[in-house]
Amino acid sequence: MASNSKSENSVKKNDTKTTKYYIATNNTLMNEIKELLTDQEIISKKLIEENKDDYILELIFPEEITLKEIKIKFLLVISKDYPSKEPEIYCLTVFSHPHLCDGRNLINNIINGDWKNKKLPLETLINKIPNFIIKHNELIKEDNTINTGKYILKKKYKINFIKELPIFFHLILNSNQILTISDLSLCFYDLDKNNVGSCILSSYIDIKDIIEINSKPNQSMIIIKYKNKKTKTIDIITPNYESIQGILNEKMKIYQKKIGKLPDIDIVKVEKEIEDKEKELNKEESNSDKVSNLMSLYQKAVEYYSAINDQKFAIFTGKIHKLLENSQLDNTSPSIENKNNKKNEAIINEKENNKVEDRNFKKDEMIKENNNKINNNDNKKDTNKDIKSNNIKEEKKNKNKILEKNDNKSDIKEQNLNNDKEKKEIDNVANDIKKDKDQPSIKLKIGEEDLKTLDVGDEEEEEEGE
């Protein structure tokens, strides 16, 4: 901090490019601020407002010292009671999630402690901001860091300041209130009747504590139940109740799903850029640079919506496919320098190849299965044929056996009949013989003359002659 020994004479501050002068005063705080403004550093500093209560400085931190691809803007509000009263530091640029640029005072997080125990010089305080940006960016990879910063109840804010924050802003005319919705909180500001253009932060609700949201269309009312020791309700009467309810539901998904890690992406800004880039491509001929930029934006959208488990990621994945196809048709193969884009394209191609290989594999398996079924059926047919043939042979064999048995029986029967017949004949002959024996025998006396007259055969005659 500048000392009181500085005189009111002109003090010269040397610079390699230009020479600047300022008038030293008895106001030590103003002298310190002027010293800050004349320092030739890469941090841009500008006094944008001075009033009876405080000084407001704009601080812009370039990419080189924040490790981000964008310049990050802060407002430093220095009370005229400084250093007794702690300064306030507000972020105006989206670089984290949940967004820090929603009206939270970040002073305690930047100095990593309580101001009463620190009371740092302004230059030291400003030089701590880049480390805070880097550290916070690392912390959001582990959790949502929802405890960063604090709201100051009963504090006066300029309406234009609140309105320019990258969050939802709504003026409720019938209740003279301003309602804002960020990733972290639902805030209510009362219009300051004594100061036109100002408002006072009257209350806020952490979105993670909201239990239920209902609406009454006939009354244009939203009913919000939230947990704060005991469950409380709040009624919001506004014609825009549908929009407010939809935004709150989207913000609640982040905490309801307990997804853990979230990418450092301002999705509202990304989608706006996507819309602009798509219009440019439709109006003009596409080139590799424009396609590459649009591909990078699509990838960010996919990354964000995948992290919060929102089905919108499928829409942007489809856009990536379509952009790749159109690029190939136009014979423009965009040189995607961003590693994420290359990785995304490779993943998509790999998935497609895997799908084709999976289909071919399934097709081969089906063919093999069908062939096995056919072979099994053929084998079954052959087996059945063999069984049938064997059955026929067996049946024939059995028939032959039966026939042979029948033939044998016939032969035996016939033989028995013949035997009976022969027996009968023998019996008859025996009977005849017995009869002959019982009859008296007759002796014939044949003379020579009788022999001559016997009729015999020629052979008998020859034998007789011999």
Give SS3 for 188: strand
- Residues whose CB is less than 8 angstroms from the CB of residue 321 and which lie 6 or more positions away in sequence, other chains included: 348
Q: For position 107, which CATH number holds? A: 3.10.110.10
- How confident is the model at residue 171, as a pLDDT? 92
Is there a contact between 324 and 369 (Cβ–Cβ < 8 Å)? Answer: no
- How confident is the model at residue 11, as a pLDDT? 38
- Where among 258, 287, 319 does a domain terminate? 258
pLDDT band at residue 324 under the 50/70/90 scheme: confident
Is the pLDDT score of 29 beyond 90?
no
Point out the least confidently predicted range of 116-125, 162-171, 301-310, 422-431.
422-431
Residues 209 and 272 in one domain: no
- For the residues 69-90, what does the mean pLDDT come to? 91
Residues 225 and 296 in one domain: no
Instruction: Residue 409: count other Cβ atoms within 10 Å of its Cβ.
Output: 10
C-alpha closest to that of 155 among 105, 219, 100:
105
Q: Residue 246 sits in which domain range?
A: 154-258
Residues 220 and 274 in one domain: no
Tokens 């290359």 locate to: 342
> What is the percent of the chain where pLDDT is above 70?
59
- For the residues 403-412, what does the mean pLDDT come to? 63
- How confident is the model at residue 61, as a pLDDT? 92
- Where among 258, 282, 304 does a domain terminate? 258
- How confident is the model at residue 20, as a pLDDT? 47
What total of structural domains would you count in the chain? Answer: 3
Residues 119 and 174 in one domain: no
Is the pLDDT score of 376 beyond 60?
yes
Residues 273 and 217 in one domain: no
Q: Which residue has the higher pLDDT, 368 or 129?
A: 129
Instruction: Residue 327: count other Cβ atoms within 10 Å of its Cβ.
Output: 18
Residues 144 and 222 in one domain: no
Helix locations, 1-121, DSSP H:
28-38, 63-66, 107-111
Q: Is residue 74 part of a domain?
A: yes
Q: How many residues appear in the chain?
A: 466
Is there a contact between 189 and 178 (Cβ–Cβ < 8 Å)? Answer: yes
Cα 195 from chain centroid (whole Å): 51
Q: Which residue has the higher pLDDT, 116 or 17?
A: 116
Q: Is residue 105 part of a domain?
A: yes
- How confident is the model at residue 410, as a pLDDT? 63
> For the segment 200-213, what is each residue's pLDDT rounded down to a tens digit?
999 999 988 888 88
Is the pLDDT score of 72 beyond 70?
yes
Backbone angles phi, psi at 165, to 5 degrees: -65, 145
Is the pLDDT score of 460 beyond 60?
no
- How confident is the model at residue 465, as a pLDDT? 46
Q: Is residue 226 part of a domain?
A: yes
- How confident is the model at residue 52, as a pLDDT? 86
Is the pLDDT score of 450 beyond 80?
no
- How confident is the model at residue 16, as a pLDDT? 42
Residues 59 and 135 in one domain: yes
Residues 183 and 236 in one domain: yes
Instruction: Residue 121: count other Cβ atoms within 10 Å of its Cβ.
Output: 13
pLDDT band at residue 170 under the 50/70/90 scheme: very high
- Rounded to whole angstroms, the Cα distance separating 133 from 126 reads 12
Is the pLDDT score of 444 beyond 70?
no
pTM of the model: 0.53
pLDDT band at residue 392 under the 50/70/90 scheme: confident
- How confident is the model at residue 51, as a pLDDT? 86
